[in-house]
Amino acid sequence: MYCKICGGDKAALNILGQSICKECIEEILETSPWDESYDYYKNIMRIILGYYISEKQLLNPVN
pLDDT tens readout for residues 20-55: 888 998 999 999 999 999 999 999 889 888 888 776
Per the structure, how many domains does the chain have? 1
The answer to whether position 4 is within a domain reads no
The answer to whether position 7 is within a domain reads no
Question: pTM value?
Answer: 0.69
The answer to whether position 57 is within a domain reads no
The answer to whether position 58 is within a domain reads no
How far, in Å, CA of 19 to CA of 59, rounded?
25
Task: Give residue 48's Cα distance to chain centre.
Answer: 4
The answer to whether position 6 is within a domain reads no
The answer to whether position 38 is within a domain reads yes
H-run or E-run covering 25: helix 22-30
The answer to whether position 60 is within a domain reads no
How far, in Å, CA of 11 to CA of 5, rounded?
13
Which structural domain, as residue segments, surrounds residue 43? 12-51
Residue 18's φ and ψ, nearest 5 degrees, are: -120, 145
Q: How confident is the model at residue 61 (pLDDT cuts 50, 70, 90)?
A: low
